[in-house]
Amino acid sequence: MRRPLIALLVGGVVLTGNTVIAAAITEHDPYTLIVKFADHIDGKALAQNHAQANTARVVQRRSLADGLGDLRPLFPIPPKGVKSQELYDSLQMGQYFVANWRQSPLTTAVIETLEGLPEIDLAELNYICRLVGSHLVPNDPLYLSQRHYEKIDLPQAWEITTGANHVTVGVLDSGADLLHPDLADRWAVNLPEYYGTPEVDDDGNGYIDDVHGYDFVNSEGSPADDRWHGTHVCGTIGASSDNSLGVAGVDWNCRLLLVKVMDKLGYSPTDIVSSGVFYAVNEGCHVINLSLSTLPTTVLETAITYAYRAGVVVVAAMGNDNTESENYPAFWSTTLAVGATDSLDNRWVAGSSRGSDFGDHICVVAPGKDIVSTYPLWHGGPYAYSTGTSMATPHVSGLAALILSVRPGLSADSLYYYICAGAEDQIGDPAEDTPGWDKYYGWGRINACNSLRLAMGQDPTGILETAESIVPAEFSLHQNYPNPFNTSTVIALQTASPGAVRLEIFNILGQEVLVREFEVQSPGLHRITWNGFDHAGKPVPSGLYFYRLVAGGHSATKKMVLLK
């Protein structure tokens, strides 16, 4: 007979079979804790006199006396006895009690102190349980206005994880309202600066007083929002959630590093944005959100390449001009480009010159119309609605943070793979949302639960079987984009396992133009930019070229056209 699957909640971690995942049930009663007394403590006598029993008197620890309160037996013996006294005694059930806690907060440090006492065998937080199969729904009042979360299966994803504070998302934007009640406890904290001397670079990183990030526009340590955009983006990524206030964020526990790179009019020179990217990577960000666009520049491309090669996933907005445009940084292959959908899962369009941009570089789409989020208090907040790919992008950044909470250390390409592979295809306008990848929706609208399950090695709904173009049996070579191209083009390939890969480019005469050999460290999508130069560093002429991928004993060839 097959043994039933049993899920054990152990200190905030769910153990199911051989899989260990972060628990969604992390809340606990702040006023009570569970204790199991040692054998030399007479649990039966305590149970009979529990009205007069006090934990502090039992443990004789003066430092805990103010916090510990009355006791209540957890498994009291009823007058008619128990079904098996022998089993009851063997499990020492009479030694378990609920103890009142009279101080705030009840921390893990208190638990550790109690467990170090000779009178106590076990102490643990009194965790809140939820019905298995019930979706985790936060109690934030405006959550009812965040119906788009249900479209991307966030409540189901939150049953797996609500995030972790070891993940940091860098928000490169207009700063944020640092005192916003739904954001004030979500900022990353630079401890040397927090405890350091004002107007001194205490951590030696070159920036003074960067406690929660840095303002590159005004060269100061307080990245305050003098527009509104950054505050709104922060709320979608990681507003405080299930706190009976305002809105819920996609990730409830990640840290937000504020990097102010846009001024009060929504503009900024490229060097400031590039410096912000560099700073965010060096300060330990795992995800960078770029809800902005610009023209192609080498300095910004270099900064983003630095982030990508450092393992940081850079999530960028496609743009709002309703055109097939080459907005940067989304156009670069080192970013994850995000478009926007409306409440009906159609591509967001608001007229001939306003709507979600599209093109060969789009990766996924996410909800972006009428998104309610945090808003600066001085600007009429604390909450407001906004629309655009800037609002879609933080949904994907939040999803990346959720994935990293259960799979820390994933590469940027692996995150790209799990987000794209979990996306839902053919959910929008059939004229645009065609089977497989398309230039309007990319791989589809994100699905947080699907991507999380894939990241944990699960495929309960046959995602992998229906996404063979994303998860190839051996490897897959995509058509380059743009094609034809003028200055550079992106060649994308996908592998099912780590190993050696060889990319060869030939001209129409069959002459070898360029060869690149490299090792891929993880399965998924990998992208290479070719700038039209040969192996000697010389530009090649216009014409038809062939590129071939060789990996694992297999090969594939495609054509591309260079026009100058």
Is the per-residue pLDDT at 165 higher than 80? yes
Structural tokens at position 148? 């788009």
Per-domain residue ranges for the chain? 28-127, 141-466, 475-562
What is the reported pLDDT for 309?
82
Q: Give per-residue pLDDT as tens, 243-299.
A: 999 999 999 999 999 999 998 888 887 888 888 889 898 899 999 999 998 877 777
What is the reported pLDDT for 282?
85
Is the per-residue pLDDT at 474 higher than 60? no
Exposure pattern of 9-38 as b/e (b: 16+ CB <10 Å)? eeebebeeeeeebbbbebebeeeebbbbbe
What is the reported pLDDT for 21?
27
Which of 66-75, 217-226, 517-526 shows the highest mean pLDDT? Answer: 217-226
* Average confidence score pLDDT of the chain: 81
Topology (CATH) of 475-562: Immunoglobulin-like (2.60.40)
Are the beta carbons of 530 and 491 closer than 8 angstroms?
A: yes
Q: Please determine whether the domains at 141-466 and 475-562 fall in the same fold group of CATH.
A: no
10 pLDDT tier (thresholds 50, 70, 90): very low
What is the reported pLDDT for 67?
72
Q: How far apart are alpha carbons 441 and 428 in whole angstroms?
A: 8
Of 1.25.40.10, 3.20.20.70, 3.30.450.40, 3.40.50.200, the CATH number of 141-466 is 3.40.50.200
Structural tokens at position 84? 């098996």
Q: Which of 140, 148, 153, 173 is catalytic?
A: 173
Residue 168 or 560, more confident: 168
Cβ contacts of 183 within 8 Å, gap of 6 or more: 176, 177, 231, 234, 235, 239, 240, 256, 374
461 pLDDT tier (thresholds 50, 70, 90): very low
Q: Give per-residue pLDDT as tens, 109-133.
A: 888 888 888 888 888 777 644 322 3
What is the reported pLDDT for 470?
42
Q: How far apart are alpha carbons 337 and 524 in whole angstroms?
A: 16
Q: What is the DSSP letter of 2?
A: P
Q: Which of 212, 229, 361, 478 is catalytic?
A: 229
390 is catalytic: yes
Q: Give per-residue pLDDT as tens, 323-358.
A: 997 888 998 888 999 999 999 999 999 877 889 999
Q: How far apart are alpha carbons 345 and 367 in whole angstroms?
A: 8
Hey, CA dihedral for 303, 308, 314, 320, is it positive or negative? positive
What is the reported pLDDT for 26?
40
Is the per-residue pLDDT at 382 higher than 90? yes
pTM: 0.66
Cβ contacts of 47 within 8 Å, gap of 6 or more: 73, 76, 77, 94
Are the beta carbons of 282 and 193 closer than 8 angstroms?
A: no
Q: Which of 274, 390, 405, 451 is catalytic?
A: 390
What average pLDDT score do residues 136-143 get? Answer: 78
Is the per-residue pLDDT at 57 higher than 90? no
What average pLDDT score do residues 30-57 get? Answer: 74
In this structure, of 22-26, 40-44, 297-301, 533-537, the range with the lowest mean pLDDT score is: 22-26
Hey, CA dihedral for 174, 176, 182, 185, is it positive or negative? positive
Is the per-residue pLDDT at 147 higher than 50? yes
Q: How far apart are alpha carbons 229 and 317 in whole angstroms?
A: 13
518 pLDDT tier (thresholds 50, 70, 90): confident
What average pLDDT score do residues 161-179 get? Answer: 95
What is the reported pLDDT for 144?
85
Q: Which residue, among 166, 397, 396, 186, has the nearest Cα to 284 in the 3D structure?
A: 166
Q: What are phi and psi of 90, to 5 degrees?
A: -65, -30
